[in-house]
Amino acid sequence: MVEDYLAKNLAAVEQKWPERAREITLAPELPDSILDATTPEPTLIIDSLHLASGYDQQAEAVVQAGQIRKNADYAWVYGLGAGRLPELLLQRSRLKQLTVVLFNPSVARAIFHSFDLTPWLADARLELRSAAQENAVFFPFAAVPPCLLLADDASARLRDLVLLEISTPYIHRKHGEKKQLLRQRIRENLPLIREDGDVASLYGTLAGKTVVVTGAGPSLADHYDWLRCNNKEIKIVATDASLIPLLEAGVEVDYVVCIDSHETRILPFFETERLAACARANLIYFPVVHPDVLKLWPGKRFTAYSRDQLYDEIRWELPRGNLFSSGSVIHPAVDFAVKAGADNIIFAGADFGFPGGRSHVAGSRAMALSTGKKHHWLLDGNGNRIRTAPSLRGFLRDLESYIALHPNVRFYNAGRRGAAIQGTDLIHQDMP
Protein backbone atom coordinates (compact mmCIF):
# COMPACT_ATOMS: atom_id res chain seq x y z
CA MET A 1 0.00 0.00 0.00
CA VAL A 2 1.25 3.47 -0.89
CA GLU A 3 1.98 5.67 2.11
CA ASP A 4 -0.08 8.86 2.52
CA TYR A 5 2.02 11.84 3.62
CA LEU A 6 -0.75 14.47 3.72
CA ALA A 7 -1.12 14.69 7.51
CA LYS A 8 2.63 14.68 8.08
CA ASN A 9 3.27 17.41 5.49
CA LEU A 10 0.34 19.53 6.70
CA ALA A 11 1.63 19.32 10.27
CA ALA A 12 4.98 20.68 9.07
CA VAL A 13 3.28 23.57 7.26
CA GLU A 14 0.63 24.43 9.85
CA GLN A 15 2.79 26.04 12.46
CA LYS A 16 4.65 28.48 10.24
CA TRP A 17 2.05 29.05 7.51
CA PRO A 18 -1.41 28.35 8.94
CA GLU A 19 -3.09 30.05 5.98
CA ARG A 20 -1.32 27.73 3.48
CA ALA A 21 -2.25 24.71 5.59
CA ARG A 22 -5.88 25.87 5.67
CA GLU A 23 -5.97 26.42 1.88
CA ILE A 24 -4.54 22.96 1.24
CA THR A 25 -6.81 21.30 3.80
CA LEU A 26 -9.91 22.90 2.30
CA ALA A 27 -8.86 22.37 -1.32
CA PRO A 28 -10.99 19.84 -3.18
CA GLU A 29 -9.31 16.54 -4.03
CA LEU A 30 -8.49 16.30 -7.73
CA PRO A 31 -10.29 13.39 -9.38
CA ASP A 32 -7.74 13.12 -12.17
CA SER A 33 -4.66 12.59 -10.01
CA ILE A 34 -2.62 9.38 -10.22
CA LEU A 35 0.55 8.35 -8.44
CA ASP A 36 2.32 6.41 -11.17
CA ALA A 37 4.56 3.68 -9.78
CA THR A 38 5.23 2.01 -13.13
CA THR A 39 8.11 4.34 -13.94
CA PRO A 40 11.62 3.89 -12.49
CA GLU A 41 10.81 6.65 -10.03
CA PRO A 42 7.21 7.10 -8.82
CA THR A 43 5.70 10.31 -10.09
CA LEU A 44 2.42 12.15 -9.89
CA ILE A 45 0.21 12.68 -12.93
CA ILE A 46 -2.52 15.30 -12.69
CA ASP A 47 -4.89 15.98 -15.56
CA SER A 48 -2.54 14.01 -17.88
CA LEU A 49 0.50 16.10 -16.88
CA HIS A 50 3.53 14.56 -15.17
CA LEU A 51 4.54 16.79 -12.27
CA ALA A 52 8.08 15.41 -12.10
CA SER A 53 10.32 13.04 -14.01
CA GLY A 54 9.41 9.39 -13.87
CA TYR A 55 13.06 8.47 -14.42
CA ASP A 56 15.38 10.72 -12.43
CA GLN A 57 13.90 13.50 -10.31
CA GLN A 58 17.25 14.47 -8.83
CA ALA A 59 18.75 15.06 -12.29
CA GLU A 60 15.65 17.04 -13.23
CA ALA A 61 15.97 19.21 -10.12
CA VAL A 62 19.63 19.89 -11.03
CA VAL A 63 18.54 21.15 -14.48
CA GLN A 64 15.81 23.34 -12.99
CA ALA A 65 18.06 24.65 -10.20
CA GLY A 66 20.57 25.62 -12.89
CA GLN A 67 18.30 28.60 -13.59
CA ILE A 68 19.39 30.09 -10.27
CA ARG A 69 22.99 31.23 -9.97
CA LYS A 70 25.05 29.37 -7.40
CA ASN A 71 25.89 32.46 -5.32
CA ALA A 72 22.30 33.70 -4.98
CA ASP A 73 21.34 34.77 -1.45
CA TYR A 74 17.61 34.74 -2.23
CA ALA A 75 15.70 32.61 -4.70
CA TRP A 76 12.14 31.89 -5.78
CA VAL A 77 10.64 28.61 -6.96
CA TYR A 78 7.38 28.77 -8.90
CA GLY A 79 5.58 25.44 -8.48
CA LEU A 80 6.34 22.46 -6.30
CA GLY A 81 6.61 19.34 -8.49
CA ALA A 82 7.65 16.39 -6.36
CA GLY A 83 9.49 18.76 -4.03
CA ARG A 84 12.98 17.89 -5.26
CA LEU A 85 13.81 21.37 -6.60
CA PRO A 86 13.35 23.25 -3.29
CA GLU A 87 15.06 20.41 -1.45
CA LEU A 88 18.09 20.70 -3.72
CA LEU A 89 18.24 24.50 -3.50
CA LEU A 90 18.07 24.41 0.30
CA GLN A 91 21.25 22.35 0.26
CA ARG A 92 23.04 25.51 -0.84
CA SER A 93 24.55 26.90 2.35
CA ARG A 94 24.81 30.39 0.85
CA LEU A 95 21.06 30.69 0.35
CA LYS A 96 19.42 32.90 2.98
CA GLN A 97 15.82 32.54 1.86
CA LEU A 98 13.93 30.35 -0.56
CA THR A 99 10.37 31.33 -1.44
CA VAL A 100 8.25 28.55 -2.89
CA VAL A 101 5.06 29.75 -4.57
CA LEU A 102 2.06 27.43 -4.91
CA PHE A 103 -0.26 27.87 -7.90
CA ASN A 104 -3.13 25.60 -6.95
CA PRO A 105 -3.97 24.33 -3.44
CA SER A 106 -5.63 21.21 -4.89
CA VAL A 107 -2.43 20.36 -6.77
CA ALA A 108 -0.43 21.04 -3.58
CA ARG A 109 -2.78 18.69 -1.72
CA ALA A 110 -2.17 15.89 -4.26
CA ILE A 111 1.59 16.45 -3.92
CA PHE A 112 1.31 16.45 -0.11
CA HIS A 113 -0.49 13.09 -0.31
CA SER A 114 2.18 11.52 -2.50
CA PHE A 115 5.59 12.76 -1.36
CA ASP A 116 7.25 13.23 2.00
CA LEU A 117 8.33 16.87 1.94
CA THR A 118 9.10 17.15 5.65
CA PRO A 119 12.91 16.82 5.26
CA TRP A 120 12.98 20.35 3.84
CA LEU A 121 9.63 21.93 4.87
CA ALA A 122 11.09 22.55 8.32
CA ASP A 123 14.04 24.55 6.96
CA ALA A 124 13.99 27.98 8.62
CA ARG A 125 15.01 29.67 5.35
CA LEU A 126 11.86 28.48 3.58
CA GLU A 127 8.91 30.76 2.81
CA LEU A 128 5.70 29.25 1.40
CA ARG A 129 3.38 31.58 -0.50
CA SER A 130 0.29 31.41 -2.66
CA ALA A 131 0.46 32.70 -6.26
CA ALA A 132 -3.00 34.22 -5.79
CA GLN A 133 -1.42 36.85 -3.51
CA GLU A 134 1.60 37.63 -5.67
CA ASN A 135 1.61 40.38 -8.29
CA ALA A 136 5.15 40.22 -9.60
CA VAL A 137 7.88 37.80 -10.57
CA PHE A 138 10.99 37.84 -8.40
CA PHE A 139 14.50 36.95 -9.53
CA PRO A 140 16.38 34.70 -9.59
CA PHE A 141 13.78 31.99 -10.00
CA ALA A 142 13.26 28.49 -11.28
CA ALA A 143 9.91 27.04 -12.27
CA VAL A 144 8.23 23.66 -12.32
CA PRO A 145 6.33 23.97 -15.63
CA PRO A 146 3.42 21.54 -15.03
CA CYS A 147 2.54 23.37 -11.79
CA LEU A 148 2.20 26.57 -13.83
CA LEU A 149 -0.06 24.82 -16.36
CA LEU A 150 -2.23 23.55 -13.51
CA ALA A 151 -2.63 27.02 -11.95
CA ASP A 152 -6.05 27.85 -10.55
CA ASP A 153 -8.03 30.88 -11.70
CA ALA A 154 -6.67 33.15 -8.96
CA SER A 155 -3.07 32.30 -9.90
CA ALA A 156 -3.45 32.76 -13.66
CA ARG A 157 -1.91 36.22 -13.77
CA LEU A 158 1.30 35.25 -11.95
CA ARG A 159 1.50 32.09 -14.08
CA ASP A 160 1.49 34.25 -17.21
CA LEU A 161 4.06 36.66 -15.81
CA VAL A 162 6.41 33.78 -14.96
CA LEU A 163 5.96 32.19 -18.39
CA LEU A 164 6.53 35.59 -20.00
CA GLU A 165 9.83 35.99 -18.14
CA ILE A 166 10.91 32.49 -19.15
CA SER A 167 10.19 33.14 -22.82
CA THR A 168 11.70 36.65 -22.95
CA PRO A 169 15.32 35.60 -23.77
CA TYR A 170 14.01 33.46 -26.64
CA ILE A 171 11.84 36.30 -27.96
CA HIS A 172 14.82 38.68 -27.84
CA ARG A 173 17.03 36.18 -29.64
CA LYS A 174 14.44 35.69 -32.40
CA HIS A 175 14.02 39.44 -32.72
CA GLY A 176 17.80 39.85 -32.91
CA GLU A 177 18.01 37.33 -35.76
CA LYS A 178 15.63 39.50 -37.80
CA LYS A 179 17.48 42.76 -37.22
CA GLN A 180 19.51 42.80 -40.41
CA LEU A 181 16.35 42.38 -42.47
CA LEU A 182 14.59 45.07 -40.46
CA ARG A 183 17.47 47.53 -40.92
CA GLN A 184 17.21 46.99 -44.67
CA ARG A 185 13.45 47.66 -44.46
CA ILE A 186 14.07 50.90 -42.57
CA ARG A 187 16.55 52.00 -45.25
CA GLU A 188 13.94 51.25 -47.94
CA ASN A 189 11.41 53.39 -46.10
CA LEU A 190 13.73 56.35 -45.48
CA PRO A 191 12.41 58.51 -48.38
CA LEU A 192 8.85 58.05 -47.05
CA ILE A 193 9.86 58.65 -43.43
CA ARG A 194 11.44 61.97 -44.50
CA GLU A 195 8.16 63.03 -46.14
CA ASP A 196 5.90 61.86 -43.35
CA GLY A 197 4.89 63.45 -40.08
CA ASP A 198 6.17 62.73 -36.60
CA VAL A 199 3.72 60.90 -34.34
CA ALA A 200 4.80 63.28 -31.58
CA SER A 201 3.08 66.10 -33.49
CA LEU A 202 -0.22 64.36 -32.65
CA TYR A 203 0.49 64.19 -28.92
CA GLY A 204 -2.04 66.14 -26.91
CA THR A 205 -4.46 66.47 -29.82
CA LEU A 206 -7.07 64.19 -28.22
CA ALA A 207 -6.98 65.87 -24.80
CA GLY A 208 -10.10 65.09 -22.80
CA LYS A 209 -11.49 62.74 -25.45
CA THR A 210 -12.83 59.22 -25.23
CA VAL A 211 -10.75 57.01 -27.47
CA VAL A 212 -11.64 53.47 -28.53
CA VAL A 213 -8.69 51.19 -29.29
CA THR A 214 -9.84 48.29 -31.43
CA GLY A 215 -8.32 44.83 -31.68
CA ALA A 216 -9.33 42.17 -34.19
CA GLY A 217 -10.64 39.70 -31.62
CA PRO A 218 -14.00 37.97 -32.23
CA SER A 219 -15.81 40.23 -29.75
CA LEU A 220 -15.17 43.33 -31.89
CA ALA A 221 -18.35 42.49 -33.82
CA ASP A 222 -20.39 42.80 -30.60
CA HIS A 223 -19.64 46.54 -30.57
CA TYR A 224 -20.33 47.61 -34.16
CA ASP A 225 -23.76 49.12 -33.32
CA TRP A 226 -22.31 51.06 -30.39
CA LEU A 227 -19.34 52.23 -32.45
CA ARG A 228 -21.58 53.41 -35.32
CA CYS A 229 -23.94 55.23 -32.94
CA ASN A 230 -21.09 57.02 -31.18
CA ASN A 231 -18.78 57.46 -34.16
CA LYS A 232 -18.95 61.27 -34.01
CA GLU A 233 -18.34 61.57 -30.26
CA ILE A 234 -15.43 59.17 -29.97
CA LYS A 235 -12.09 58.79 -31.69
CA ILE A 236 -11.15 55.36 -32.97
CA VAL A 237 -7.57 54.11 -32.96
CA ALA A 238 -7.71 50.88 -34.95
CA THR A 239 -5.04 48.22 -34.99
CA ASP A 240 -4.28 47.20 -38.57
CA ALA A 241 -5.99 43.79 -38.44
CA SER A 242 -9.23 45.37 -37.21
CA LEU A 243 -9.41 47.98 -40.00
CA ILE A 244 -11.25 46.01 -42.72
CA PRO A 245 -13.87 44.50 -40.37
CA LEU A 246 -14.60 48.01 -39.04
CA LEU A 247 -14.86 49.53 -42.53
CA GLU A 248 -17.11 46.68 -43.67
CA ALA A 249 -19.32 47.30 -40.63
CA GLY A 250 -19.65 50.97 -41.61
CA VAL A 251 -17.49 52.29 -38.76
CA GLU A 252 -15.23 55.26 -39.53
CA VAL A 253 -11.76 55.14 -38.06
CA ASP A 254 -9.56 58.09 -37.14
CA TYR A 255 -6.16 56.44 -36.76
CA VAL A 256 -4.70 53.12 -37.82
CA VAL A 257 -1.58 51.73 -36.18
CA CYS A 258 0.73 49.20 -37.79
CA ILE A 259 4.03 47.80 -36.58
CA ASP A 260 4.27 44.32 -38.12
CA SER A 261 7.26 43.84 -40.42
CA HIS A 262 5.80 40.70 -41.99
CA GLU A 263 4.94 41.52 -45.60
CA THR A 264 2.43 38.78 -46.44
CA ARG A 265 0.73 39.07 -43.08
CA ILE A 266 0.17 42.82 -43.11
CA LEU A 267 -0.56 43.71 -46.74
CA PRO A 268 -4.00 42.03 -46.78
CA PHE A 269 -5.05 44.32 -43.91
CA PHE A 270 -4.93 47.23 -46.34
CA GLU A 271 -5.87 45.68 -49.66
CA THR A 272 -9.49 46.77 -49.94
CA GLU A 273 -11.43 49.20 -52.09
CA ARG A 274 -12.90 50.52 -48.87
CA LEU A 275 -9.51 52.03 -47.98
CA ALA A 276 -10.61 55.17 -49.87
CA ALA A 277 -12.90 55.82 -46.87
CA CYS A 278 -9.74 56.44 -44.82
CA ALA A 279 -8.67 59.56 -46.75
CA ARG A 280 -9.12 61.67 -43.61
CA ALA A 281 -7.67 59.09 -41.25
CA ASN A 282 -4.05 59.00 -40.12
CA LEU A 283 -1.72 56.04 -40.40
CA ILE A 284 0.73 55.68 -37.53
CA TYR A 285 3.45 53.30 -38.58
CA PHE A 286 6.82 51.97 -37.51
CA PRO A 287 9.58 52.10 -40.14
CA VAL A 288 9.78 48.30 -40.31
CA VAL A 289 6.38 48.09 -42.03
CA HIS A 290 6.48 47.09 -45.70
CA PRO A 291 6.63 50.15 -48.01
CA ASP A 292 3.66 48.89 -50.06
CA VAL A 293 1.43 49.39 -47.03
CA LEU A 294 2.60 52.97 -46.73
CA LYS A 295 2.04 53.63 -50.42
CA LEU A 296 -1.50 52.22 -50.26
CA TRP A 297 -2.55 54.54 -47.46
CA PRO A 298 -4.81 57.36 -48.79
CA GLY A 299 -4.50 59.70 -45.79
CA LYS A 300 -1.68 61.30 -43.82
CA ARG A 301 1.11 59.16 -42.44
CA PHE A 302 2.99 59.60 -39.18
CA THR A 303 6.12 57.69 -38.17
CA ALA A 304 6.73 56.31 -34.71
CA TYR A 305 9.71 54.51 -33.19
CA SER A 306 10.02 52.27 -30.18
CA ARG A 307 12.92 52.29 -27.73
CA ASP A 308 14.49 49.39 -29.64
CA GLN A 309 18.14 49.89 -30.64
CA LEU A 310 16.98 49.20 -34.18
CA TYR A 311 15.92 52.83 -34.50
CA ASP A 312 19.08 54.33 -33.00
CA GLU A 313 20.65 54.78 -36.45
CA ILE A 314 17.90 57.12 -37.65
CA ARG A 315 16.76 58.56 -34.34
CA TRP A 316 19.16 61.53 -34.53
CA GLU A 317 18.70 62.29 -38.20
CA LEU A 318 14.93 61.91 -38.18
CA PRO A 319 13.66 62.27 -34.62
CA ARG A 320 10.18 60.79 -34.05
CA GLY A 321 8.05 60.06 -31.01
CA ASN A 322 8.46 56.72 -29.24
CA LEU A 323 5.52 54.45 -28.66
CA PHE A 324 5.45 51.50 -26.27
CA SER A 325 6.02 48.24 -28.08
CA SER A 326 5.98 44.79 -26.57
CA GLY A 327 5.00 42.34 -29.28
CA SER A 328 1.41 43.31 -30.10
CA VAL A 329 0.16 46.27 -32.14
CA ILE A 330 -2.34 46.95 -29.35
CA HIS A 331 0.59 48.25 -27.24
CA PRO A 332 1.62 51.19 -29.48
CA ALA A 333 -2.07 51.82 -30.24
CA VAL A 334 -2.93 52.35 -26.59
CA ASP A 335 0.27 54.30 -25.93
CA PHE A 336 -0.64 56.62 -28.79
CA ALA A 337 -4.10 57.17 -27.27
CA VAL A 338 -2.49 57.99 -23.91
CA LYS A 339 0.09 60.36 -25.42
CA ALA A 340 -2.60 61.99 -27.54
CA GLY A 341 -4.20 62.97 -24.23
CA ALA A 342 -7.26 60.69 -24.04
CA ASP A 343 -9.14 60.83 -20.74
CA ASN A 344 -10.97 57.56 -21.29
CA ILE A 345 -9.66 54.65 -23.32
CA ILE A 346 -12.03 51.84 -24.26
CA PHE A 347 -10.78 48.52 -25.58
CA ALA A 348 -13.04 46.83 -28.13
CA GLY A 349 -12.12 43.43 -29.58
CA ALA A 350 -8.90 43.28 -27.52
CA ASP A 351 -9.67 39.67 -26.60
CA PHE A 352 -6.22 38.09 -26.17
CA GLY A 353 -7.95 34.72 -26.52
CA PHE A 354 -10.47 32.75 -28.51
CA PRO A 355 -13.99 33.50 -27.31
CA GLY A 356 -16.43 31.23 -29.09
CA GLY A 357 -13.49 29.15 -30.36
CA ARG A 358 -12.46 31.77 -32.94
CA SER A 359 -9.15 33.62 -33.10
CA HIS A 360 -10.33 36.72 -35.03
CA VAL A 361 -13.43 38.72 -35.79
CA ALA A 362 -15.33 37.72 -38.93
CA GLY A 363 -13.96 39.54 -41.97
CA SER A 364 -10.47 39.97 -40.55
CA ARG A 365 -7.70 39.09 -42.99
CA ALA A 366 -5.47 37.99 -40.13
CA MET A 367 -4.16 34.45 -40.37
CA ALA A 368 -6.31 32.28 -38.14
CA LEU A 369 -4.46 31.01 -35.10
CA SER A 370 -4.79 27.49 -33.80
CA THR A 371 -7.50 27.92 -31.22
CA GLY A 372 -5.45 26.72 -28.35
CA LYS A 373 -4.58 23.81 -26.13
CA LYS A 374 -6.47 22.81 -23.02
CA HIS A 375 -3.86 24.19 -20.64
CA HIS A 376 -3.53 27.54 -22.39
CA TRP A 377 -6.37 29.63 -21.02
CA LEU A 378 -7.18 32.91 -19.37
CA LEU A 379 -10.25 34.35 -17.72
CA ASP A 380 -12.82 36.31 -19.71
CA GLY A 381 -14.81 39.23 -18.34
CA ASN A 382 -17.37 36.84 -16.89
CA GLY A 383 -14.75 34.88 -14.98
CA ASN A 384 -14.91 31.90 -17.36
CA ARG A 385 -11.84 30.27 -18.87
CA ILE A 386 -11.31 30.87 -22.59
CA ARG A 387 -8.58 29.27 -24.63
CA THR A 388 -5.67 31.36 -25.77
CA ALA A 389 -2.13 31.12 -27.10
CA PRO A 390 0.91 31.73 -24.87
CA SER A 391 1.95 34.77 -26.92
CA LEU A 392 -1.48 36.41 -26.51
CA ARG A 393 -1.37 35.86 -22.75
CA GLY A 394 2.01 37.56 -22.68
CA PHE A 395 0.66 40.54 -24.67
CA LEU A 396 -2.24 40.87 -22.21
CA ARG A 397 0.04 40.89 -19.15
CA ASP A 398 2.32 43.52 -20.75
CA LEU A 399 -0.76 45.65 -21.49
CA GLU A 400 -1.89 45.31 -17.87
CA SER A 401 1.55 46.38 -16.65
CA TYR A 402 1.32 49.41 -18.98
CA ILE A 403 -2.14 50.31 -17.66
CA ALA A 404 -0.87 50.13 -14.07
CA LEU A 405 1.72 52.77 -14.96
CA HIS A 406 -0.97 55.24 -16.13
CA PRO A 407 -3.27 55.90 -13.17
CA ASN A 408 -4.40 59.25 -14.61
CA VAL A 409 -6.15 57.64 -17.56
CA ARG A 410 -9.37 55.65 -17.15
CA PHE A 411 -9.34 52.37 -19.05
CA TYR A 412 -12.47 50.43 -19.98
CA ASN A 413 -13.31 47.17 -21.68
CA ALA A 414 -16.26 47.31 -24.07
CA GLY A 415 -17.39 43.76 -23.31
CA ARG A 416 -16.94 40.67 -21.22
CA ARG A 417 -16.43 38.00 -23.90
CA GLY A 418 -12.71 38.65 -24.33
CA ALA A 419 -9.98 38.55 -21.68
CA ALA A 420 -10.57 40.30 -18.39
CA ILE A 421 -8.00 43.12 -18.57
CA GLN A 422 -6.72 44.11 -15.12
CA GLY A 423 -7.00 47.86 -14.57
CA THR A 424 -10.10 48.27 -16.77
CA ASP A 425 -13.76 48.67 -15.86
CA LEU A 426 -16.65 47.60 -18.01
CA ILE A 427 -18.05 50.52 -20.05
CA HIS A 428 -21.20 52.01 -18.65
CA GLN A 429 -24.38 52.95 -20.49
CA ASP A 430 -23.87 56.71 -20.55
CA MET A 431 -20.44 56.50 -22.23
CA PRO A 432 -18.93 58.24 -24.08
Among 48, 97, 133, 201, which residue interacts with another protein (rule: CB under 8 A)?
48
User: What type of residue is 279?
Assistant: A
* For another protein, the closer CB: 262 or 373: 373
3-class secondary structure, 426: strand
Identify the H or E element spanning 393: helix 390-404
Based on the shown chain and the rule CB under 8 A, indicate whether residue 39 belongs to the binding site for another protein: yes
Among positive and negative, which fits the CA dihedral 79, 81, 87, 92?
negative
Based on the shown chain and the rule CB under 8 A, indicate whether residue 67 belongs to the binding site for another protein: yes
* Number of residues forming the site for another protein (CB under 8 A): 34
Based on the shown chain and the rule CB under 8 A, indicate whether residue 237 belongs to the binding site for another protein: no
Based on the shown chain and the rule CB under 8 A, indicate whether residue 55 belongs to the binding site for another protein: yes
Q: What's the closest the beta carbon of residue 168 comes to another protein, in angstroms?
A: 10
Among 23, 60, 134, 260, which residue interacts with another protein (rule: CB under 8 A)?
60
Decide if 423 contacts 404 (C-beta within 8 A).
Answer: yes
The C-alpha angle with vertex 417 and arms to 412 and 418, in degrees rounded to 5, equals 65
Based on the shown chain and the rule CB under 8 A, indicate whether residue 182 belongs to the binding site for another protein: no
* For another protein, the closer CB: 346 or 389: 389
* For another protein, the closer CB: 162 or 212: 162
- Binding span for another protein by CB under 8 A among 187-195, 341-349, 373-381, 421-429: 373-381
Cα separation, 120 vs 116, in Å, equals 9
Strand arrangement, sheet containing 282-285:
197-198, 300-303, 282-285, 255-258, 235-239, 210-214, 344-348, 410-413, 424-426
* For another protein, the closer CB: 54 or 355: 54
Decide if 217 contacts 349 (C-beta within 8 A).
Answer: yes
Query: What residues pair up with 300 in beta bridges, in sequence order?
Result: 282
* For another protein, the closer CB: 97 or 168: 168
Q: What's the closest the beta carbon of residue 142 comes to another protein, in angstroms?
A: 7
Q: What's the closest the beta carbon of residue 71 comes to another protein, in angstroms?
A: 20
Cα separation, 12 vs 29, in Å, equals 20
* For another protein, the closer CB: 61 or 132: 61
Strand arrangement, sheet containing 49-50:
33-36, 43-46, 49-50
DSSP class of 322 = B
Decide if 130 contacts 153 (C-beta within 8 A).
Answer: no
Among 30, 49, 192, 369, which residue interacts with another protein (rule: CB under 8 A)?
49
Question: Which residues, numbered 195-224, are part of the site for another protein (CB under 8 A)?
Answer: none
Cα separation, 188 vs 176, in Å, equals 19
Based on the shown chain and the rule CB under 8 A, indicate whether residue 142 belongs to the binding site for another protein: yes
Among 13, 17, 23, 53, which residue interacts with another protein (rule: CB under 8 A)?
53
**Residue span 314-353 as binding mask against another protein, x where in contact by CB under 8 A, dash where not:** ----------------------------------------
Based on the shown chain and the rule CB under 8 A, indicate whether residue 432 belongs to the binding site for another protein: no
Among 375, 385, 406, 416, which residue interacts with another protein (rule: CB under 8 A)?
375
Taking Cα atoms as reference points, which of 111, 134, 105 lies closest to residue 26?
105
Q: What is the 3-state secondary structure (H, E, C) of 192-237?
A: HHHHCEEHHHHCCCCCCCEEEEECCCHHHHHHHHHHHHCCCCCEEE
* For another protein, the closer CB: 84 or 360: 84
Binding site for another protein (CB under 8 A): 38-41, 48-56, 60, 63-64, 66-67, 142-143, 145-146, 148-149, 162-163, 166-167, 170, 373-376, 390
